Chains A and B, each alone.
Chain A
Amino acid sequence: MIVEIGHFALVLAFALSLVLSIVPIVGARIGDQRLMAVAEPASFAILGLIALSFAALTVAYVQSDFSVANVWENSHSLKPMLYKITGVWGNHEGSMLLWILILAAFGGLVALFGSNLPATLRANVLAVQGMIAAAFLLFVLASSNPFARISPPPIEGRDLNPILQDIGLAIHPPLLYLGYVGFSICFSFAVAALIEGRIDAAWARWVRPWTLAAWAALTGGIAMGSYWAYYELGWGGWWFWDPVENASFLPWLSGTALLHSAIVMEKRSALKIWTVLLAILTFSLSLLGTFLVRSGVLTSVHAFATDPTRGVFILMILIVFIGGSLALFAFRASTLTSGGLFQPISREGGLVLNNLFLTTAAATVLIGTLWPLLVEAVTGEKVSVGAPFFNMTFGPLIVPLLLAVPFGPLLAWKRGDLYAASQRLFVAFALALLIGLVTLFMIDRISVVAAFGVAVAFWLVFGALTDLALKAGIGKASPSVMFRRFVGLPRSVFGTALAHAGLGLTTLGIVAVSTLEVERIAVMQPGDTLDVAGYELRFDGLVPFDGPNFTEEQGRFTYSDRSGRERGEVVSSKRFYPARQMPTTEAGITSHGFSQLYVALGDRAPDGGIVVRAWWKPQVLFIWIGCIFMMVGGGVSLLDRRLRVGAPAAKRSKPARAVEVAT
């Protein structure tokens, strides 16, 4: 019965989201408070119903109820409990349900914290959320129902794809979806503003925390996905410029742009139209990502079984929402008044530059990702666009932006002084240059690219530190005053510095791994050794091992450093999952500081040896540590008190009085 209750809850949530998408908008249109007031209880109820539905599916997984087709296809009674639960969203149907659950949760949060929003804006925002929910609920119910049943129930499930039987599945999709779906709030705010035909100052203050939250989650989701692919696929790569990866990277790029343009809008009421457009585009790119991943129209190393009919459905949703919102934008954008003026060299100017580069970079990635579809549609030829294209275009576009980042926070609003900012950044520049030179002469004598990249990375880190130091009043006040000022700085200043420094750390990791990595591949017999960047890796042999739902052969290695001292053991294995008749490779990874030794097993050679591929990955962990910095930076900014806009008190005189405050 639990399963059917879950199914019914899903259907009821769909009916309710239809009501939510119509009634409050009508209310806002005709000025009926009661109709608008329907939005909040409806949002809460949808959240409750979808949570119930999700819980029902989870129970079916935990109990191995194979009368549910989805459970039968993706679970196995012997699977460890963690993977039974994560398996709920380790498949198309379940992951769409998670998507909708998060969407409903965001709607619920807006309803909960929305008391300080103007009533009509709140009603419209929740209604647009309701429309998105209705579309996706219909999609799930019509084409990917997780509650479809089979009778008689099979006795054993077909198991979850072994690649997904990993802790990564517990974290990556929920974080990624928090990001994707979080941008739906920005979208809803943008569309609501367009419906009303006006945007007030509260709008940007309201959109910014949602953007920050979504952005931070998306950053974490992408980083987690990257690390997961890195250790699970056994290829040693952490980013493949694959369509599915690009699909998550695109909303990140435009979301980053949105994050910055919303600052301008909030502080200076400028860039209103642009910000609204970015909010629409960011969520559109999230939807596009969902479409690309689900439909399988592009060949991807991350693609799992896909279904073209579903793709068509999502394409329809895509066209309705993107087309509808852009049409509304074209129709209404002119009614939005533009705000404050500024000089090209100013904080605003810097943020515009940021937006220009980020959106251009996003456009490049988008073109590269969709190019194969385009070419095939026009000429019928099949083309693939891979890493070489993206490295050639994205790199040159992003490097100038990285160089410019430290200047931004040092420029004043409205009219900045580039020369003064340069003077203040001189120390950071000199230090970064020094580290670059050290890299060139001490570590790697060949690669100028490595030296330049490392210098850029440190330039970002030192630039962020300089900003903090200057804002604390370095050189102007005594240490104790400085400390007090430092502690009292607005949270958003710390957030900015953390995120920018994180960008530097990620750059450092990327540069180090791309330029200084060492890869060795060899056929090894037990007792053989392999030299990897000064470490000696000895193959001790293969040992069979039985897991709960797999068997594996563990390749055991001992490795010693330059002095010949043994440093530890690495275990890399070949697993076999009998339920799906599927082998996987489990890479053996050990960390040294921020660098890693990475060992993957290949096939057996005819002479009884085994192919071993080993990498030395210098400073690789900085790639993800930097992302964590960015995430934390987003979180810290979120705590800034500025973003907690107070609601007007119940009794309040007319605005006329406020004029005195300003003069």
Chain B
Amino acid sequence: MLFWIVAAAMTFAVCLLLLTPLARERAGVRNSREHELEVYKDQLREIDRDRARGLIEDGEAEMARAEIGRKVIRLSEGDGEETGTASSRALGRWVGAIAVLSLPLVSWGLYAATGSPDYPGQPLQARLDRDPSQQSPEELIARAEAHLAANPGDARGWDVLAPIYLRLGRFDDAAGAFANAIRLDEPTPARLAGQGEALTAAANGRVSEEAQALFSQALDIEPGNIRGRYFIALASAQAGDQQAAERVWRQMLSDLPDESPWHGVIAQAMNGTAEPSEGANDQAEMIEGMVASLATRLEANHDDVDGWQQLIRSYMVLDRQDDAQDALDRARNAYGAGSPEAGHLAAYGLSLGLNVED
């Protein structure tokens, strides 16, 4: 609303500014000949000055004076002032009226077509200062990041941010945030296990040695730490010791209260590890599985350039060049020749040494 008042005031002020000269009756203004005469007089004065300074010779000065004199004579032969006739005055009034009227019409019409009058400004600081309940997750993160950029030593800030990163799938950021909290404050079991979980997630579920060390450290401080126990068991399962893993998990199932969400997680893990392929922990097979699921997904939904690229690259890594070529051709067909995506994929394929001729 305030916007419209300001806009109306601006329009009104500008119209008023135009109306003022239009309404005023003017005396005849000096005509251009007088201006010209003024210039000639000034030039004569300048000749005198130059003459006095010795910048020009006497003869040169006389010639110049004579020339200006001739121009002045020619000037005086012209006639006097020009004033408008009655009919032109009427025309002038019409032109003035139309001009003033056109201002609000053109400006409001054009603005209505292009502007966003109801959209308030969004200064970043004001957005970050808003009540957190009204902020989007991105804003919450940006807010926490801004806070931490200003106070990098705030371990509790990292505690808040780390799980959010984890939930959003930004695993590397999450691991970094947990590590920061540990570095700045102290290694609590929650932070250690959190970092371990983030690392594991970042490694597509594989519990690395670094993560194992973190979980062990968490268990040293708090022997009952659920995450620590679960992931250490997962690590032994991935290492091939299925029985040890199941022993721990069974124990955990009986220890945990019935309403704990971990029941489902553990049950899933136990089912999963029952399958031999996972138990064998063959990385190539894991990739094959991922590739197969990616291929199925892309079969259902063609429109994912990154997915296609990932698939093609995976085939190349697995040394299945024909499949890669096939995937590339299918992807390009799916987008249609000449589409930007197809061009993009062709470029990508070319960079991997695939054939992009049709």
Contact = CB atoms under 8 A, between A and B. Distances in A.
A378 interface: no
A373 to B, nearest CB: 26
A221 interface: no
Given A1-B121, A485-B53, A655-B34, A38 B96 contact: yes
Contact of B18 (A19, A413, A490): A19
A2 B121 contact: yes
Nearest to A493: B55
Contact of A33 (B14, B26, B80, B120): B26
Nearest to B81: A31
Given A26-B95, A42-B18, A413 B64 contact: yes
A30 B91 contact: yes
A14 interface: yes
Interface residues of B, number: 95
A412 B106 contact: no
Contact of B114 (A7, A16, A205): A7
Contacts of B53: 485, 488-489
A652 B34 contact: yes
Interface string B72-83: 110110001011
B46 interface: yes
Contact of A42 (B11, B17, B102): B17
Contacts of A647: 35, 38
Interface string A14-39: 11101100110011001111110110
A201 B70 CA distance: 13
Contact of B119 (A4, A15, A42, A656): A4
Binding site of A, secondary structure by majority: helix, strand, loop or mixed?
helix
B186 to A, nearest CB: 27
A4 B89 CA distance: 39
A573 B113 CA distance: 48
A645 B45 CA distance: 12
Interface stretch (A114-122, A500-508, A510-518, A626-634): A114-122
B295 interface: no
Interface string B47-77: 0011001111100100111111111110110
A656 B20 CA distance: 36
Contact of A9 (B10, B35, B70, B121): B10
Nearest to A153: B122
B117 interface: yes
A232 interface: no
Most chain-B CB neighbours within 10 Å: which of A18, A23, A412?
A23
Contact of B76 (A44, A78, A646, A656): A656
A117 B115 contact: no
Given A32-B89, A63-B124, A64-B124, A18 B21 contact: no
A45 B17 contact: yes
Q: Kindly name the residue among B26, B95, B146 whose own CB sees the greatest number of chain A CB atoms within 10 A.
A: B95
B335 interface: no
B304 interface: no
B156 interface: no
Interface stretch (A144-152, A165-173, A251-259): A144-152
B39 interface: yes
Nearest to A118: B32
B7 interface: yes
B44 A26 contact: no
Contact of A4 (B32, B40, B117): B117
A149 B115 CA distance: 9
A33 B28 contact: yes
A12 interface: yes
B299 interface: no
A162 interface: no
Given A42-B17, A64-B123, A155-B139, A7 B99 contact: no
Contacts of B2: 1
A305 interface: no
A11 B115 contact: yes
B292 to A, nearest CB: 32
A22 B94 CA distance: 13
A4 B117 CA distance: 6
A316 interface: no
B200 to A, nearest CB: 26
Contacts of B66: 662
Contact of B37 (A2, A12, A41, A655): A655
Contacts of B82: 31
Interface string B277-304: 0000000000000000000000000000
A247 B191 CA distance: 60
Contacts of A654: 76, 80
B152 to A, nearest CB: 12
Given A151-B119, A155-B139, A38 B110 contact: no
Contact of B54 (A42, A63, A120, A485): A485
B95 A18 contact: no
A147 B119 CA distance: 12
Contact of B46 (A32, A49, A642): A642
A34 B22 contact: yes
B3 A659 contact: no
Nearest to A157: B124
Nearest to A341: B67
A646 B34 CA distance: 11
Contact of B71 (A63, A156, A269): A269
Given A12-B103, A116-B35, A642-B46, A23 B95 contact: yes
A547 to B, nearest CB: 14
Nearest to B36: A200
B34 A15 contact: no
B255 interface: no
B96 A77 contact: no
Interface string B91-131: 11001100110110111001100111101111111110000
A65 interface: yes
B24 interface: yes
A60 interface: yes
Given A65-B122, A155-B139, A35 B95 contact: yes
A18 B24 contact: no
Interface string A73-92: 00001100000000000000
Contact of B115 (A7, A49, A66, A155): A7
A34 B96 contact: yes
Contacts of A121: 32
Nearest to B23: A34
B358 to A, nearest CB: 25
Given A7-B114, A9-B10, A45-B14, 11 more contacts: A3-B121, A11-B110, A34-B21, A35-B95, A41-B21, A64-B125, A65-B121, A116-B35, A145-B114, A645-B38, A645-B39
24 contacts: A4-B117, A8-B10, A12-B103, A15-B106, A16-B14, A26-B95, A31-B85, A41-B18, A65-B122, A116-B35, A121-B32, A141-B114, A151-B116, A155-B124, A202-B32, A413-B64, A642-B46, A645-B35, A645-B42, A646-B38, A655-B75, A655-B76, A658-B76, A662-B70
Sorted nearest first, the 5 A-B pairs with minimum C-beta distance are A662-B69, A118-B32, A63-B123, A32-B92, A37-B21
